[in-house]
Structures are given as structure tokens and as C-alpha cells.
Amino acid sequence: MVIVVGGGITGLVATYELARAGVQVTLCERSGRLGGKIRTTRLDGFLIESGPDSFIRQRPAAVELARDLGLEHALIEPSEPRVVHVLVGGKLHPLPEGMGLGLPTRLGPLLSTPLFGARDKLRMGLDLVRPRGPLDGDVAVGALLRRRLGNALVERLAGPLLGGVYGTPIDELSTLAVVPHLRQAERDQRSLLLAAVAAERSRPGGRRSGSPFVSLENGVGQLVDALVGCIGRADTVGVRTACEVTSVERRGAGAVVTLAGGERIAADAVVLATSAPVAAHLLETAAPTSARHVRSIPHGSTAVVSLGYRGDQLAGEHLTHGFLVAQGEAAAIDACTVSSCKWSGRAPDGTLLLRAFAGARRPELLGANDADLVRVVHHDVASALGIVGNPIVAHVARWEGCMPQYTVGHLDRVAAALSSLEDSPFVLAGAAFRGAGLPDCISQGRGAGDRVLGILGVEPVQRSATWSWLVSAAVTVVPQSSIRVDTDAPPRCRRIGVEV
């Protein structure tokens, strides 16, 4: 028997992999729903994502899982034109073409963009001649980029982009955990700009023509629907929601898991696919050294506010997939995605759906009530996009203390936590450890399954024809509505008549 604690995407994938091998598994999820931060909601014809709205194809685990589950036909790319803006000086400026994750991959658009003045561009140009800096140990991404390229690029592009993706201020964000290629680029080629341009040109087929992101027709929750349906049809799997694990302990070569009601379950192995604070609490007695290192991984909070408007409320002509907010701007929000422009099928005809993120720039907003939070977000997006009048739909999702932050030294903390569990029946996996993105979590779920099979002495198996049939059947019978909200964290929604 294997116990998987946590029904987010990592725990679901670990369960899926163990079920394929015929292992007896019980999945325990504290809330009343499965999917973790993946939450797709339909509200008055709008398709709202409270968590991730897509996944990156260059890390193929998510795309491969979608194909395994029979969802290849449902994969979609962002709509054209793929334009993103940056809010600087109260105005929206197009993101320079060829902008990678924190660095431009084309020098022409960088030189011509109005985002930077001549002095800023000259400062960036010093990267071409500056000597290499210290190359030992981890450093903050912000410190590395400021040293090579200056403050302007960090504050207007790299900071909002990388800090927003990882929910961590760029001057605290770990280079080795997030963008290790930057350290390698400085080591090998000295200039980060030249290294980025060279890397782009060396890609097979030349420059990328398509978007690096993909999603699903019915939202990312469609992936969880299919996965849950597949797991539910496996004879060796039991799924228990509203089931809190309160402690784990060693017993010989195995473990004992205690549930909130007092029930105790013997297990040969336990996968902890939870947030770091929960995992640390559970490991406190059984593996105190690991618990100490896991507890040192900081977690932050964020709020996702989705707003719907009639199309005629958009007074301006901004055709955009969204915008980042540069440091120093008066806006309270961190970024905004115009979901109905970015993805098809997200809003009824003649309407507009967007979602904004709040909490990093103004942490006090996380303590505001829903009405005040909606009011602040509406003001910022209406000012930026030229929206007139009130939203017709509002939806608030709060993620409190469950957003891992990859600060300097993150990889060392993770390595110490994992190494102290090498001879134990406990396996750690999830967003807090080796990648917070959807593909990373899926890869960790598969890795956790492989680790458990090693503990059990069971050989991994190839997907059989029987299992493929089971997947296809699951996809056809599980409706999108099976993704439900937490019983302990109900959705905060307002429909027509929101007062702002």
C-alpha cells in the first residue's frame, strides 16, 4: 500500500503512474476537490482560470500527459496577434519582439523600443564589454542582471516578467534554480546579450514561429478531469477527499499515516505532494532534519481577480494578450492577462474577459475584502485598457501561503531535504521543490512514482493497450463540471451588478 498525500497535479500524476504499475494506492486530499491550484470555473458563459491558464511546450511533460489522456485534439495555441505590453509611465508599450525569459534574443527590437531611453540602451550595451563577474555559488537574478545590463531592464522587463512568473521579487530570486543558463552564458560567452542571441539562432529550424505556450479547449481543468477519471477507473486506487493527514511516522521499513479522525493506515511508502509548510509539519517527528530544510522554503500569497465586460465597454483599440506592470508604477496590480484575446472560447461573443494578479506589489491588498479588491483591480485595468463602466462579472480566487518562492540558495535547501530522506519510505514532490510550473510538477509526479516503485522493488511498466483503452473511456465519461471548488475555500464570485 502506498499513500499519496495531496490531490494537486503532482499527487494525481504520482497516483496515475503507480496505478499503471498495478500498485495499491490511496490518495488523500484535505479539501473537497482535486486539482490543487488548477481550478477552471464556468460563470455566466465565461471560462475562468483561477490558477495556471496554460503550459509551456518546451518542457514537454504536460503536452505528453495530455496526449496520454487522449486530449491531443483539445490542445490549442494562443490567438493571433500575440502581442504583450508593459505598463510604463502610465502607458502601455509593446513588449520588444524576441523577448525571452528575462533577456532579449534579438538586438534590433531592443534598440528600437521606446521602453528605454538612449542612456538605458547604452548601459545595456556595456554587457558586450564588461568582464565576467564572480561565478561561484548562487546569486539573485536581479543582482546578476543589474550588474550586466543595468537597472532599467530589470525594473521594466525582467523584474515584472520573472518576478511575476515565480511570485518572488527578482532581487531575491535564485539564478541557479530559475535561470541557470544565465550563469552558464556568462561563464562561456561573458556577454548575456550575445549568448541569448546566439542561443536563439542556433535553435533547430531557426527562430521560433509559434507560441511556446499551449492550453486546452475547456481550460486547464480539462487535464485534471481526464486524469481524475482515469485514476477513478483503476481497480487499485482509492481516492479520499475531505481527508486530512495529520501525521506520518516510521514503522520498520514502512510508515504509518494518521488521519484527522484518528484512523491509522500502514503504508510501504508515502508520497508528500503538498505545500512545503504542510510537508514540513508532517515530517516533523519522522524526519526532523528534512522537515527543517523543507520549512526554510518560503511561501507567499496572491489573489487572482477575473473581470468580465461587454465588448462595447472597451473604448480604446488595445488588442493585447495582457500587460506587465513595471516597477515604480502607481498601479496596484502585478500583471493582467486578457484571457478572451489570448485564448479562444473564454468569453461569450461580444464580451471581454481578463484576469489580474495582486499581492506582490501591494501585499496589504491580500487583506482587503472581495469588493475592495475588485474595485482596485477594476480601476487599474480600466485605466490601462480604456474600459468604461463596471464589470458585469467578477470572480476572486485567493491563494494564501501556498506559492513557493525560489529564493537564493533554494537548490541547496531542496538537496538537503531530499538527501535526508534517501533511506526512508517518504518521497517529496511538488511545486515547492524542483519547478513550480505545470510541466515541472507533472515531471515530479512521475519521478515520485518511479522513486516509490524503486522502494517497492517493482519495475516500471510501459503503458499497455488495456490502460490506453481505460484512458479513452475516462475522457469520454468525465464532464468538465467535475472540477469543483474547495469546501474550505469557496469561490468568491459576483455576477451582474458589481459595484465598483
Summarised one tens digit per residue, pLDDT across range 229-285 is 999 999 999 999 999 999 999 999 999 999 999 999 999 999 999 999 999 999 999
Which residues, other chains included, contact 390 with Cβ-Cβ below 8 Å and sequence gap of 6+? 378, 498, 499, 500
Question: Is 2-34+241-298+406-461's fold the same as 99-201's?
Answer: no
DSSP 8-class letter at 157: I
Q: Give the containing element (helix H, strand E) for 107.
A: helix 107-112
Which residues, other chains included, contact 203 with Cβ-Cβ below 8 Å and sequence gap of 6+? none
CA Rg value for the chain: 23
The mean pLDDT of 382-395, rounded to a whole number, is 96
Which residues, other chains included, contact 84 with Cβ-Cβ below 8 Å and sequence gap of 6+? 94, 95, 320, 321, 322, 323, 324
Sequence spans of domains, the chain:
2-34+241-298+406-461, 37-97+208-217+299-404+490-500, 99-201
- Whether the ω angle into residue 81 lies within 30 degrees of 0, i.e. cis, is yes
The mean pLDDT of 287-293, rounded to a whole number, is 98
Written as nine digits, the cell of 67 is: 496526449
**What is the DSSP pairing of strand 2-5 with strand 269-272?**
parallel
So what CATH class is 99-201? mainly alpha
Q: Give the containing element (helix H, strand E) for 251.
A: strand 245-251
Question: Residue 251: what are its φ and ψ, rounded to 5°?
Answer: -145, 100
The larger pLDDT score, comparing residue 476 to residue 177, is at: 177
Written as nine digits, the cell of 338 is: 486578457
**Is the CATH code 3.90.1150.200 the one for domain 2-34+241-298+406-461?**
no
Between CA 35 and CA 209 the distance in angstroms is 32
Between CA 467 and CA 428 the distance in angstroms is 27
| Amino acid 167: pLDDT | 85
The larger pLDDT score, comparing residue 216 to residue 134, is at: 216
**Is the CATH code 3.40.1410.10 the one for domain 37-97+208-217+299-404+490-500?**
no
Is 60 a residue whose pLDDT tops 50? yes
